[in-house]
C-alpha cells in the first residue's frame, strides 16, 4: 500500500494532508495521482463521488501549477453550484501551504462582478459551473486561453443537465495542448463521445467497475402498494432511529409534499428542489449538514452535489425515470470509507426495474420486509435504553434526588424501569399496535398496482391516442390538472379516441366536480364513471350521456402539447392511510 509520500507529492501538500488527517490514499488517488504527476496526459477516471476524487485531480493540479504566476492555469468545471463551492473549499484546504495560491469559484446566483473582481486579482485555479463560465467568457471577464489543465468533474451529470454545448463552447476558448482530466461516475455514450472528441489518447482509470456503485453501499428493496408508499417510508425511518438520510422523489411537487407530510408527522425533515430560492436551499443544506434535518427529501437535480459524508441511508421513495440515475442517488451514502444503505420502496409493477438496476450496478438487491409495528416499537425501545445507558449523568439532578426518591419509595427497580420506558414506549405502541402489514407478495396477481377495485372508481374520459396521449402522458396530465399525487391516478388505459383511469373512491366527487364544466382548448373534456373495472375486463361503459357527443367534442381537441394550465384548484386528498398518521407520536429532535 502506497503512502501519499510514495505517490510523489511535495512537502506543502503532504503537510496539508497531515492536517486533514488523511492517513492513506484512496483507490482513485493511488491510481490517478502518479499518472497525472509524472506525465502530461489526458485522463478518463471512472469514480463515484465520495471516493476522494477531488484530491485525485486537486493534488496533481496544485503541484503542477506555478503559484508565482497570476495567470489562470487550471480550470475545473462542475455541474452544480454546491459542488463548485465544495471543490473550491477542498482545493483551498489541500493548497493551504502553497503560498500565493488563489482559487476562485464561479457560479450562477451570485454577483458576477464580484467574481470577475476576484478573478482579476489573479486566480491560478478557477472552479466553475458551465453556465456562469460561458457568460463570463462572453463578457471578457475571464481569460482561459493559457489553461494548462482542465477538469470535467461529474461529466455524466453535466451532460445530463444539458451542459454539453456550454462545455464545448468553453473548451473552444482553451489551448489545444492542455491536458484534460475527466471524472465521471458512469460512462454513458455521451461521456464516451466527449472523451473521444475532446481528448487525446486519454489514460483510463476505473475505480470499481464501470457504472458500478460503491462497494460500501448495500441495496435493499421493499415491496408495497403504491398508496402505502408514504407509510412504508415512515416505517423505514422509525425502524432506524439514528437515520440521517436523503429521500429521493421524482418530481418537485412530490418532494415538497412528502417533506411537508413528514414535518407534519413530527420528523426532522426538509425539502430540497428547484422551486426553492437559492437562499432557501442554502438554509436547508445548512440544517442538513448540522444534523438538524434527519431526512432531506430531494429531487435528483437538487441533490446533485450534496457532499455530506455521514449519510446513513438513501431512500428511493420513487425510482428515478432514468435508472442510471440510481447510481448517483445511492452514491450519496457510503462515502469516505463509511458504509451505507440504499433502500427502494417499490410497487409490484416496478420489480422488473430492480433487475435492470442490478445489471447496471452489478450488485444484487436484498428484498426486505417492511417492519411491522411491534418490531418498530422494539427498535425504538432498545434505542432509548441504549441512549439512557450511555448518557452521562448530569449532577445538577443530585439536588432533586431526595424528592424523586421519596416519590418512588415503594417502587422496585423493575417497576421503575417499566414506568420510565413506558413514557416513550406507549406513544409508539399506541400508534403502532394496530398498524397493518404493508408488505405485499411479488407473486400475487396485479397489473398496475394492488388497489382492490371495490375501493376505487373507474372513469371514462373522451381523450385518447388520437389526441397524442399514451398512458403515461395521460396520467401526468390528469395528475397535473387535478393536482393529485403520483400514485393517485392508476390503471390508465388509452384507446384511440377515449381512455379509462382509476382513482380511489374518496376522490370521485372531486374528479367529477372538476370535469363538470372543464373546457380545454375550446373543447369540453368529458369524464364519467365507467362500468369497466379495468384490468382487462369487458368494455361496458356507462353511456347515460351518450358516446356520440363525446366523439364530436374530441374532434376539436388539440392534444396535450397545446394545453394551457388549468385554474381548477382543489386540495389533494388525505387518504385513509393518512388518517392513521394523525395520531403518530412526535419525534424528539436529534
Ligand atoms: P470526494 O470524493 O472528493 O468528494 O471526497 C469525499 C470526502 O473524502 C471528502 O470529505 C474528502 O475530504 C475525503 N477524503 C478525500 N481523500 C481522503 C483520504 N485519502 N482519506 C480520508 N478522507 C479523504
Instruction: For residue 260, list its beta bridge partners.
Output: none
Instruction: State the burial class of residue 578 (Cβ atoms within 10 Å of its Cβ: 0-12, 13-18, 19+).
Output: middle
Taking the centre of ligand 1 as the mean of its atom positions, its distance from the CA of residue 569, in whole angstroms, is 48
Contacts of 200 (CB under 8 A, 6+ apart): 42
Closest ligand 1 atom, residue 56 Cα: 3
211 C-alpha to center of ligand 1: Å?
20
How far does residue 98's CA lie from ligand 1's centre (Å)? 19
Rounded Cα–Cα distance for residues 582 and 585 (Å): 9
**Ligand 1: which atom is nearest the Cα of residue 48?**
2
Supply the residue whose CA is at minimum distance from atom 15 of ligand 1.
52
What CATH number is given for 217-372 in this structure?
3.40.50.300
φ and ψ of 504, to 5 deg: -70, 155
CA nearest neighbour of 295 among 321, 266, 319, 318: 266
C-alpha closest to that of 467 among 554, 550, 563, 551? 554
Ligand 1 centroid from CA 337, angstroms: 9
3-state secondary structure of 271: strand
Residue nearest atom 17 of ligand 1, based on CA coordinates: 52
Burial class (CB in 10 A: 0-12, 13-18, 19+), 456: buried
pLDDT at position 568 is: 35
Nearest to 127 by CA among 178, 166, 73, 64: 73
Q: Determine which helix (DSSP H) or strand (DSSP E) holds 330, and give its type and residue range.
A: helix 325-330
DSSP readout, 496-528? SS-EEEEEEGGGHHHHHHHGGG-EETTEE--EE
Helix (H, G, I), strand (E, B) or coil at 535: coil
Instruction: Give the nearest ligand 1 atom to 54 CA.
Output: 3
Instruction: Identify which of 33, 46, 55, 328 to mutate to test ligand 1's pocket (most ligand atoms within 8 A of the CB).
Output: 55
**What is residue 214's predicted lDDT score, i.e. its pLDDT?**
61
Task: Give the position, in ligand 1's atom list, of the atom nearest the Cα of 25.
Answer: 19
Q: Smallest Cα–Cα separation from 526: which of 506, 546, 507?
A: 546
Averages of pLDDT over each 10 residues, the chain, 590 residues: 89 95 92 95 88 95 96 95 91 96 94 95 96 95 96 88 89 94 86 87 79 73 92 96 94 93 94 91 92 95 80 94 84 80 92 89 91 92 91 93 93 92 87 89 58 76 88 86 80 88 87 85 84 50 35 35 35 31 37
Domain 453-576 is in which class? alpha beta
Angle at 107 between CA 104 and CA 108, to 5 degrees: 150
Pocket test for ligand 1, best of 52, 56, 289 (most atoms within 8 A of CB): 52
Cell of 39: 506525465
All structural domains of the chain with their residue ranges? 5-206, 217-372, 374-432, 453-576
Q: What share of residues in the chain are helix, strand, coil (percent, to 5)? A: 45, 15, 40
| Cα distance from N-terminal residue to C-terminal residue, the chain | 39
For residue 533, the model assigns a pLDDT of 63
Cα(90) to ligand 1 centroid in Å equals 9
Say which residues have a Cβ less than 8 Å from residue 185's Cβ, sequence separation at least 6.
Answer: 46, 47, 48, 49, 154, 156, 157, 211, 327, 328, 331
Compute, in angstroms, the gap from residue 335 CA to the centroid of ligand 1: 8
253: its cell numbers: 411537487
Long-range contacts of residues 554-558, Cβ cutoff 8 Å, at least 24 apart: 554/462, 554/463, 554/464, 554/466, 554/467, 554/497, 554/498, 554/523, 556/521, 556/522, 556/523, 557/463, 557/467, 557/520, 557/521, 557/523, 557/525, 558/467, 558/521, 558/523
Q: Supply 199's cell numbers.
A: 481528448
Ligand 1 atom nearest residue 47's Cα: 2
Q: Which CATH class is domain 5-206?
A: alpha beta
Atom 20 of ligand 1, residue of closest alpha carbon: 22
How many residues would you count in the chain?
A: 590
- The CA 324 to ligand 1 mean position distance, Å, reads 24
CB 541 within 8 A of CB 531: yes
Q: Atom 16 in ligand 1: which residue has the minimum CA distance? A: 52
- Put residue 61 in one of left, alpha, beta given phi > 0 → left and psi -120 to 50 → alpha: alpha
Using CA atoms, how far apart are residues 282 and 71, in angstroms rounded to an integer? 32
User: Residues with Cβ < 8 Å from 408, sequence gap 6 or more?
Assistant: 416
**C-alpha of residue 336 to centroid of ligand 1, in Å:** 6
Cα 394 to ligand 1 centroid, rounded to whole Å: 37
Ligand 1 centroid–CA 51 distance in Å is 6
Domains 5-206 and 217-372 share a fold: yes
Ligand 1 lining (C-beta closer than 6 Å) = 22, 25-26, 29, 49-55, 90, 307, 309, 335-336
d(C-alpha 31, C-alpha 40), whole Å:
15
The cell for 555 is 374532434
Amino acid at each position: 500500500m502506497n503512502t501519499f509520500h510514495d505517490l510523489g507529492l511535495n512537502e506543502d501538500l503532504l503537510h496539508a494532508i497531515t492536517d486533514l488527517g488523511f492517513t492513506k490514499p484512496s483507490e482513485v488517488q493511488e491510481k490517478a495521482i502518479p499518472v497525472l504527476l509524472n506525465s502530461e496526459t489526458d485522463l478518463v477516471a471512472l469514480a463515484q463521488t465520495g471516493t476522494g476524487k477531488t484530491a485525485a485531480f486537486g493534488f496533481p493540479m496544485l503541484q503542477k501549477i506555478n503559484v508565482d504566476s497570476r495567470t489562470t492555469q487550471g480550470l475545473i468545471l462542475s455541474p452544480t453550484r454546491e459542488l463548485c463551492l465544495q471543490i473550491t473549499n477542498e482545493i483551498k484546504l489541500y493548497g493551504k501551504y502553497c503560498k500565493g495560491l488563489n482559487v476562485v469559484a464561479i457560479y450562477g446566483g451570485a454577483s458576477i462582478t464580484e467574481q470577475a473582481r476576484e478573478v482579476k486579482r489573479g486566480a491560478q485555479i478557477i472552479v466553475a459551473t458551465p453556465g456562469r463560465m460561458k457568460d463570463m467568457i462572453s463578457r471578457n471577464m475571464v481569460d482561459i486561453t493559457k489553461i494548462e489543465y482542465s477538469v470535467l468533474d461529474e461529466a455524466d451529470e453535466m451532460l445530463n443537465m444539458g451542459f454539453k454545448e456550454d462545455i464545448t463552447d468553453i473548451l473552444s476558448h482553451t489551448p489545444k495542448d492542455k491536458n484534460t482530466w475527466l471524472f465521471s461516475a458512469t460512462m454513458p455514450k455521451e461521456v464516451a463521445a466527449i472523451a473521444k472528441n475532446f481528448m487525446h489518447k486519454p489514460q483510463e482509470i476505473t475505480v470499481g467497475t464501470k457504472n458500478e456503485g460503491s462497494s460500501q453501499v448495500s441495496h435493499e428493496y421493499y415491496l408495497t402498494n403504491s398508496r402505502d408508499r408514504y407509510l412504508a417510508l415512515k416505517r423505514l425511518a422509525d425502524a432506524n432511529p439514528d437515520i440521517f438520510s436523503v429521500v429521493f422523489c421524482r418530481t418537485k411537487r412530490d418532494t415538497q409534499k412528502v417533506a411537508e407530510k413528514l414535518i407534519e408527522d413530527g420528523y426532522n425533515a426538509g425539502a430540497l428542489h428547484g422551486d426553492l430560492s437559492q437562499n432557501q436551499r442554502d438554509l436547508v443544506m445548512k440544517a442538513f449538514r448540522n444534523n438538524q434535518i434527519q431526512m432531506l427529501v430531494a429531487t435528483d437535480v437538487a441533490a446533485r452535489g450534496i457532499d455530506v459524508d455521514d449519510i446513513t441511508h438513501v431512500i428511493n421513495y420513487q425510482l428515478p425515470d432514468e435508472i442510471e440515475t440510481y447510481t448517483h442517488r445511492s452514491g450519496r451514502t457510503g462515502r469516505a470509507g463509511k458504509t451505507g444503505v440504499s433502500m427502494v420502496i417499490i410497487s409490484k409493477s416496478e420489480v422488473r426495474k430492480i433487475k435492470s438496476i442490478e445489471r447496471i450496478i452489478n450488485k444484487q438487491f436484498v428484498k426486505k420486509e417492511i417492519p411491522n409495528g411491534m418490531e418498530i416499537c422494539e427498535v425504538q425501545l432498545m434505542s432509548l435504553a441504549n441512549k439512557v445507558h450511555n448518557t452521562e449523568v448530569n449532577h445538577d439532578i443530585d439536588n432533586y434526588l431526595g424528592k424523586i426518591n421519596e416519590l418512588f419509595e415503594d417502587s422496585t427497580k423493575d417497576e421503575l424501569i417499566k414506568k420510565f420506558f413506558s413514557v416513550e414506549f406507549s406513544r409508539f405502541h399506541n400508534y403502532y399496535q394496530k398498524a397493518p402489514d404493508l408488505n405485499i407478495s411479488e407473486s400475487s396477481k396485479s397489473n398496475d398496482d394492488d388497489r382492490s377495485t371495490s375501493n376505487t372508481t373507474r372513469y371514462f374520459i373522451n381523450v385518447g391516442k388520437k389526441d397524442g396521449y399514451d398512458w403515461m402522458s395521460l396520467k401526468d396530465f390528469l395528475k397535473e390538472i387535478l393536482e393529485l399525487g403520483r400514485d393517485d391516478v392508476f390503471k390508465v388505459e388509452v384507446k384511440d379516441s377515449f381512455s379509462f383511469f382509476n382513482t380511489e373512491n374518496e376522490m370521485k366527487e372531486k374528479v367529477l366536480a372538476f370535469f363538470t364544466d372543464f373546457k380545454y382548448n375550446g373543447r369540453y373534456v368529458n369524464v364519467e364513471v365507467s362500468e369497466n373495472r379495468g384490468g382487462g375486463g369487458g368494455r361496458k361503459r356507462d353511456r347515460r350521456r351518450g358516446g356520440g357527443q363525446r366523439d364530436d367534442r374530441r374532434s376539436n381537441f388539440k392534444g396535450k402539447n397545446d394545453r394551457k394550465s388549468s385554474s381548477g384548484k382543489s386540495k389533494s386528498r388525505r387518504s385513509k392511510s393518512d388518517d392513521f398518521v394523525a395520531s403518530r407520536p412526535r419525534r424528539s429532535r436529534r
